[in-house]
Amino acid sequence: MKLLLCPRCGDVRKLRYNETRCECGASWGSYAPDGLKATIGGEALCLGLGNLALDAAICAHRVEPVEQYTLTAWMMRDGAPNVERAK
């Protein structure tokens, strides 16, 4: 899963096929029709979150809720195979 992070307002949004904008409007992005490649614009940064890790945390929470689960996210650089900066 890719998340849009705006360094200006700190907003984090899940990318979608339709354009997603942060709260202040300085960052935006969307998925390409293939559902893999993302295009981001403005000040946007792209975060990656492992789908399998997220699914596992959700399943574990449903079975036995605990106070918190640790998930690892990573910053995806411009030019990464699945991230393109809007021109």
Using CA atoms, how far apart are residues 87 and 64, in angstroms rounded to an integer?
46
Tens digits of per-residue pLDDT, 17-37? 999 999 999 999 999 999 899
Q: To the nearest 10°, the Cα dihedral for 19, 20, 22, 28? A: -40
Contact between 13 and 20 (Cβ < 8 Å): yes
Residue 5 has pLDDT above 90, yes or no: yes
User: Residue 76 in 3-state DSSP?
Assistant: strand
pTM comes to 0.81
